Amino acid sequence: MRLILLGPPGVGKGTQAQFLMDRLQAVQVSTGDLLRAAVREGTALGKDAKRYMDAGELVPDDVILGLIGEKMTELKGRSVIFDGFPRTVAQAEGLDRLMDGLGQQIDRVLELTVEDQVVIDRLSSRRSCPQCGAVFNLISAPPKVENVCDVCGHVGLIQRDDDKPEVIANRLRVYHDQTAPVAGYYHDRGNLVQADGLGSVEEVRSRVDSALAI
């Protein structure tokens, strides 16, 4: 099973991917997480990518397709949930070529939808752990102990540079200009389903299950 999760930043793709991993016995492949890991490790790719990420711009397609190519080879045919990828039509086309080469295919594409204002509210209250990357939301999913990571115990949760208000506006603009057309790409191929991303994590989860009929 190869599933793509589409939708604006902060819509809840990462959260739903966690549930779907269990349900589908699949691995989550998040290009945002792969890039943030490269930034933390200080690799050349990470240093280069950081400029784009901090500005809320997209990292160039060839860099992203290179990362995905490596990851897919490493995963050797396991079921995959793509989160935050593809972000441009060129990435979607590149993914098709990669899948062809591996004798695999994209089975389902799920688009989660919400209004821009919801994205702005959610991203501004998002905090993450600089050590392990776990994500919290001060309003809807706060850590059990204030400012302490539930997963690894690190003290000092941070706001991602790209979750700051001025960058959020640019990420939304980039999403509408460059990523929204990707939904059309998969709609034309007949494998797009949609679910409303508004509401509690559980509400969205049950809509996702119905949309995917799992």
122 in Cβ contact with 15 (< 8 Å): no
Q: Which is nearer to ligand AMP, 95 or 192 (CB)?
A: 95
Q: Which is nearer to ligand AMP, 135 or 211 (CB)?
A: 135
| Residue whose C-beta lies closest to ligand AMP | 32
3 state SS for 130-154: CCCCCEEECCCECCCCCCECCCCCC
Residue 9 as a binder of ligand AMP (CB under 6 A): the answer is: yes
Give the integer Cα–Cα distance in Å for 2 and 106: 5
Among 7, 8, 12, 32, binds ligand AMP (CB under 6 A): 32
Give the integer Cα–Cα distance in Å for 112 and 179: 13
Give the β-pairing of 80-83 and 2-6.
Answer: parallel
Question: Cα–Cα distances in Å, from 103 out to 64, 72, 76, 100, 109?
Answer: 20, 12, 11, 5, 18
Q: What type of residue is 205?
A: R
3-state secondary structure of 105: coil
Q: Which of residues 144-173 bind ligand AMP (CB under 6 A)?
A: 162, 171
86 in Cβ contact with 32 (< 8 Å): no
Q: Identify which of 59, 128, 57, 70 has the alpha carbon closest to the alpha carbon of residue 98.
A: 70
Residue positions annotated with a catalytic role: 13, 87, 126, 160, 171
- Per-residue binding letters, 69-88, with ligand AMP (x by CB under 6 A): ---------------xx-x-
Cβ 107 to ligand AMP shortest distance, Å: 19
Cβ 213 to ligand AMP shortest distance, Å: 26
Q: Which of residues 39-58 bind ligand AMP (CB under 6 A)?
A: 52-53, 56-58
Q: Which is nearer to ligand AMP, 87 or 127 (CB)?
A: 87
Residue 94 as a binder of ligand AMP (CB under 6 A): the answer is: no
Cβ 83 to ligand AMP shortest distance, Å: 7
Question: Which of the stretches 29-37, 40-48, 96-104, 149-157 binds ligand AMP when contact is defined by CB under 6 A?
Answer: 29-37
Under the rule (CB under 6 A), what is the footprint of ligand AMP?
9, 31-32, 35, 52-53, 56-59, 64, 84-85, 87, 91, 162, 171
